[in-house]
Amino acid sequence: MSLKLNTLLLSRRDIEGIINMCEIIKVVEGAFREKGLGRVQCPSKVYLYYEKYGGDLRVMPAFLESINVSAIKVVNVHPNNKKYNLPSIMATIILIDPETGFPLSIMDGTLITCMRTGAATGVATKYMSRKNSKVLGLIGAGAQAFYQLIATLEVLKIEEVYVYDIDEKAKVNFVNMMSVQYPNIKFIAVESEREAVDGMDVIITITPTREPHVKVEWIKAGTHINAIGADAPGKQELDPEILKKARIIVDDMDQAIHSGEVNVPITKGILSKKDICGELADVVIGKVKGRVSDDEITIFDSTGVAITDAVTADLVYKRAKELNIGMNINLIFK
Ligand SMILES: NC(=O)c1ccc[n+]([C@@H]2O[C@H](COP(=O)([O-])OP(=O)(O)OC[C@H]3O[C@@H](n4cnc5c(N)ncnc54)[C@H](O)[C@@H]3O)[C@@H](O)[C@H]2O)c1
């Protein structure tokens, strides 16, 4: 055992630019593989509800036994934070040495949340979308949107992206920025959810809405949907009729039933657990198919799992050590 006395503090600025989406997708896919092989401890998130403020707080621990990585994330979701000029989601991650319990690092988890959520979408899209998918619809142009986009671009040759957000400014800014960053892709700001859904090969929904805004009649055969926004009880973005006719894969069965896209239809008895084909982990290890035919509608229901935070935090920590980034502090000893 090498005795470590210092805890590495890493801010968002430290983390920015030291890891890229391609490598995060690899470690996140690896984390789902470990889950599929039964080699992780990843209990469901624990929630606190700040009802009078319209927000919540989640605690997310994980241990990946075979790669000896363990971490815990504390993360909030406050959709009304714009008025305080704060992100809706802010997170802190503590990376733990499983051998001793020592806190190896305390780091910003806000950027890591965006990146690992994007990466999970990338993994799901790789296994579940049609390989010739070219047109992407994106509903929600907030903090997560960019990472959802870049992860999708890692796994598909997207040519056109249709973007809708109820906030006109957020939508137009996103489209303008992406048009500069990716000049070979056509970005179109659209005026309705329907225009971001109708005729798309892949759809990503990433809003905090509780009113389903994607209608079944807009979805063409063969579309893959990444339903990312619903991650707490009562949230839903898709017309339940879509779920009834689709092949549904979740990131975690218990979390999805509690708080994913399926939570409201299951609570109302419109859908049941047996309508869910399996977990992304099962797809990655080849136990369950992500897609069976070119004309089926597939849905990845993402709630966000702690193993994906842990492996991304581990990647960040190792890279920061290599690059001598961050601040070492003696947190514990006299
Ligand atoms: N599954 C996961 O792992 C995961 C991870 C992170 C965030 N989330 C969820 O994703 C959602 C978005 O997170 P964020 O950090 O991007 O939030 P954000 O507040 O930065 O952005 C949300 C965007 O959605 C838009 N929006 C709200 N309601 C809408 C509607 N009805 N139609 C179209 N646009 C609408 C807002 O104007 C805003 O631009 C939240 O619900 C969050 O809890 C899920």
40 and 148 share a domain? no
Residue 1 lies in a domain: no
CA of 210 to the centre of ligand 1 (A): 11
At residue 16, the pLDDT reads 96
CATH of residue 244's domain is 3.40.50.720
**Residue 211: inside a domain, yes or no?**
yes
Measuring from atom 7 of ligand 1, which residue has the nearest CA? 229
Q: Is 89 near ligand 1, meaning CB less than 6 Å away?
A: yes
Kindly state whether residues 132 and 177 are assigned to the same domain. yes
Closest CA to 80 of 72, 71, 89: 89
Query: In this structure, is residue 160 part of a structural domain?
Result: yes
**Would the CA dihedral through 178, 11, 26, 61 be positive or negative?**
negative
Give residues with Cβ within 8 angstroms of 188, minimum separation 6.
Answer: 160, 161, 162, 163, 175
Ligand 1 pocket test: pick from 171, 205, 207 the residue with the most ligand atoms within 8 Å of its Cβ: 207
Residues 60 and 165 in one domain: no
Specify whether 314 is located in the same domain as 298: no
Alpha carbons 29 and 100: distance in angstroms, whole number: 27
Which pairing describes strands 40-41 and 55-64: parallel, antiparallel, or unpaired? antiparallel
For residues 77 and 81, what is the distance between their CA atoms, to the nearest angstrom?
9
Residue 5's pLDDT is what? 86
Whether 63 is in a domain gets the answer yes
Q: Are residues 153 and 299 both part of a single domain?
A: yes
Confidence at residue 64, expressed as pLDDT on a 0 to 100 scale:
98
Please check whether residue 297 lies inside any domain of the structure.
yes
CB of 79 sitting under 6 A from ligand 1: yes
Residues 94 and 159 in one domain: no
Q: Kindly report the CATH number assigned to the domain that includes residue 311.
A: 3.30.1780.10
The pLDDT score that the predictor gives to residue 282 is 98
Domain range for residue 44?
A: 7-112+307-329
pLDDT at 2: 52
Residue 152 maps to a domain: yes
Average pLDDT, consecutive stretches of 10 residues, N- to C-terminus, the chain (334 residues): 80 97 98 98 97 97 98 97 96 97 97 98 98 98 97 98 98 98 98 97 97 95 98 96 98 98 98 98 98 98 98 98 97 90
Distance of CA 203 to the CA centre of its chain: 14
Nearest CA to ligand 1 atom 10: 229
Kindly report the backbone phi and psi dihedral angles of residue 217, in degrees, each rounded to the nearest multiple of 5, phi listed first: -70, -10
Atom of ligand 1 nearest to the CA of 81: 19
Q: Are residues 154 and 224 in the same domain?
A: yes
Please check whether residues 201 and 245 belong to one and the same domain: yes
Any atom of ligand 1 within 6 Å of the Cβ of 228 = yes
Q: Are residues 29 and 42 in the same domain?
A: yes
Residue 2 counted as domain residue: no
Domain total in the chain = 2
Is there a single domain that holds both residue 151 and residue 245?
yes
86 with 220, same domain: the answer is no
Q: From CA 100, how far away is CA 261, in angstroms rounded?
A: 38
Is 243 a domain residue? yes
Whether residues 227 and 105 share a domain: the answer is no
